[in-house]
Structure formats: C-alpha cells, structure tokens
C-alpha cells in the first residue's frame, strides 16, 4: 500500500473510532505534537475538542463523503448527524436532529496526525440550534 493510501486509512480510522466511541486507538494515531483547529495539543487536546460534540449529540455519526490525499495531507469532506439531547457549550439542548458539514485537512507524518485544519458550516449549525435566526436577511432588504 502506498503512503497516500495509508494516510487515508489513518484518517478513516479516526472517524471509525469516533463513531464507535472507542478513542483508545487514537493514542497511536494522534501525535504528541498534534495541533488542532483551536491549537489543542496532543491526544488529550484532540479529545477535548471532540468530546463536547459527542456529549451534546450522543448519537452523532460522522460520514465521510469524500477523502483525497496527496503527499502528507489528507482532505476529508464529512457530514455528521445527531440529536441534540444535552447542552452544547452554553446552549440548552433542543432535542432536534441536526446535521453539520465540514472540510478537514490533516497533516500526517510517520503514520501519525500532526496537524488538523477544519472549516465547518457554523452558521447552519447555530441556526439549527435556534441561536441564530434562520432568516438572516438584512432588515433593509426585507422591505
């Protein structure tokens, strides 16, 4: 298996671990010097970033829709679905089924993830939580 195929397999395993709620194997995948999207560090930092989503959406499931690799980078387009049955950060639980989408880029060296960048649909997420109005048309434009 070539390196890009191995790198895709590593990233796919991350989502499998999250979906199965078995994060122990991630200790072998997340590098000690891992830096996440909010500068989370290492395995524990990775867990600290993902755990709030899993707690607020206990049935959350990530689906990889596209995965592309070149060199030491793997790009994933994913969608998760879940039911918001517990508070998320300082927002009350809604009981609503929700979806979120993102594109994530992972840097992999020596079989471990060293860095991650991610762009999510935050506006859509906040609208589904009911925090932001679904109609964001400027008041002047509504006339």
Q: Which residues of 30-67 are buried (b: 16+ CB within 10 A; e: fewer)?
A: bbeebbbeeebebbebbeebbeebbebbeebebebeeb
pLDDT of 135 reads 81
Q: Are 61 and 16 in contact (CB under 8 A)?
A: no
Residue 111 CA to residue 87 CA, distance in Å, equals: 35
Q: How many CA atoms lie within 13 A of 81 on its CB side?
A: 4
Domain boundaries, the chain: 3-134
pLDDT of 138 reads 64
Residue 21 CA to residue 123 CA, distance in Å, equals: 27
Nearest to 18 by CA among 51, 66, 65: 51
pLDDT of 92 reads 94
Topology given in CATH for the domain delimited by 3-134: Nuclear Transport Factor 2; Chain: A, (3.10.450)
pLDDT of 132 reads 86
pLDDT of 68 reads 98
Tell me the pLDDT of the chain (143 aa) as tens digits.
569 999 999 999 999 999 999 999 999 999 999 998 888 899 999 999 999 999 999 999 999 999 999 999 999 999 999 999 999 989 999 999 999 999 999 999 999 999 999 999 999 999 998 888 878 776 665 55
Cβ neighbours of 7 (radius 10 Å):
23
Which residues pair with residue 35 across a beta bridge?
41, 115
Is the whole model's pTM more than 0.75, yes or no?
yes
pLDDT of 143 reads 53
Residue count (the chain) = 143
């Amino acid at each position: 298996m070539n390196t890009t195929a191995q790198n895709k397999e590593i990233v796919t395993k991350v989502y499998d671990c999250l979906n199965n709620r078995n994060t122990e194997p991630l200790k072998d995948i997340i590098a000690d010097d891992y830096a996440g999207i909010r500068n989370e560090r290492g395995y524990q930092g990775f867990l600290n970033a993902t755990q709030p989503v899993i707690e607020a959406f206990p049935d959350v499931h990530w689906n990889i829709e596209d995965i592309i690799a070149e060199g030491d980078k793997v790009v994933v387009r994913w969608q998760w679905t879940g039911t918001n049955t517990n508070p998320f950060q300082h927002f009350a639980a809604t009981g609503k089924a929700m979806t979120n989408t993102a594109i994530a880029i992972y840097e992999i060296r020596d079989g471990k993830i060293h860095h991650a960048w991610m762009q999510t649909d935050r506006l859509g997420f906040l609208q589904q939580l009911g925090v932001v109005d679904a109609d964001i048309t400027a008041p002047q434009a509504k006339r």
